[in-house]
Structure 1
């Protein structure tokens, strides 16, 4: 999807999915060759104007990797809000960041960590990258700046070194969270 905000210094909302699959005892992270940037990156994309960030995760996963939420678990902090009245609670990203796409355009990104039980059951959508690589922590660390961005390496190192061995994060089915665009019940000032 093209950028929504095209004026100088505007921000688009985006999501990035870090997908780990266990290969023996060694976790492997899914990277793909971004078709426009020509660098290895985790899959991700824009949050469209008519969707929640979690709905964007669902559609970008399918488009870019072929994965469905039914095939994945998501890492979540053990201490987290799981429900609230009259709203839809979404999964917590493990990080949120803002980065420059160009000197005058920015993405504010939510980063999610998934655990795959198998390879995706479907191919990516037509026109998406098909150059996928399952990479160990050492593989990602060995990439140079012509192959990936240093900040991607920083996030990958954090995933491998801090989140995967953490005892304060746990896996839950990715389908535990609703992707539909539910509207919270409106509370008028008189009802407050």
Structure 2
């Protein structure tokens, strides 16, 4: 009797399968996101390790959940001054082994912004955007980042993890777009453009 064909790693691992389903459901905004989505999908489907196991760079490519918090009434976004990155970013963190990326958002929202995560109606508990980005500085590695969107009243966030962040700022989308890209995550402007496009379709 012939042996059964080898089972693909993504079929054995429910976490990997869910990640691939999440990636396949994304609609890329532009050619760059299309390329990043292809890279992320091939990486996730390859059987390569998904999660960071040793700080800061083992394995050299691993999964991150970002979450942009939006006060929808004011159309303002919360950005944090990340100490290690030296940039203004959405909050977020590394996905732990066995953890669903949305559950990372829930956990990190409590840890970093001391608030419960409330998914924006615009995207729900699914990411709006994906990027594949080399980090800067010592221990450089590549973050495969899923960008989620949360809703919150700006007055409800009154504290943050001061070990991680030097400060926080609420900015309108227009203010984010006029910030020099060198001060922000390199994909922040593109995220705003995709967010505006998604909102225009609703």
TM-score range, shorter chain: 0.5 to 0.7
Q: Once the two structures are superposed, what CA deviation does each residue of 1:57-110 show, in whole Å capped at 9, x if it has no partner?
A: 1111112212212xx2323559xxxxxxxxxxxx32112222112596211111
Query: RMSD of aligned C-alpha atoms?
Result: 2.7
State whether structure 2 residue 129 is matched by structure 1 residue 95.
yes
Match of 1:87 in 2: none
Tell me if structure 2 keeps the 8 A contact 1:40–1:147.
yes
State TM-score, norm by structure 1: 0.66
Match of 1:88 in 2: none
CA distance in 1, matches of 2:79, 2:136: 22
The answer for unaligned runs of 5 or more in structure 2 is 1-51
Match of 1:75 in 2: 121
Tell me if structure 1 keeps the 8 A contact 2:87–2:184.
yes
Cα gap change, 1:36 to 1:5, in 2 (>3 Å): closer
Report the secondary structure of 1:164's partner residue. Answer: helix
State whether structure 2 residue 77 is matched by structure 1 residue 41.
no
Report the secondary structure of 2:182's partner residue. Answer: coil
More helix by share: 2
Q: Larger RCO: Structure 1 or Structure 2 (Cα < 8 Å, ≥ 6 residues apart)? A: 1
CA distance in 1, matches of 2:143, 2:197: 24
Cα gap change, 1:68 to 1:77, in 2 (>3 Å): closer
Cα gap change, 1:128 to 1:77, in 2 (>3 Å): closer
Tell me if structure 1 keeps the 8 A contact 2:77–2:172.
yes
More strand by share: 1
Match of 1:177 in 2: none
Q: Select 1:66's aligned residue among 105, 114, 118.
A: 114
Count of residues in correspondence between the two structures: 148
State whether structure 2 residue 58 is matched by structure 1 residue 6.
yes
Tell me if structure 2 keeps the 8 A contact 1:74–1:115.
yes
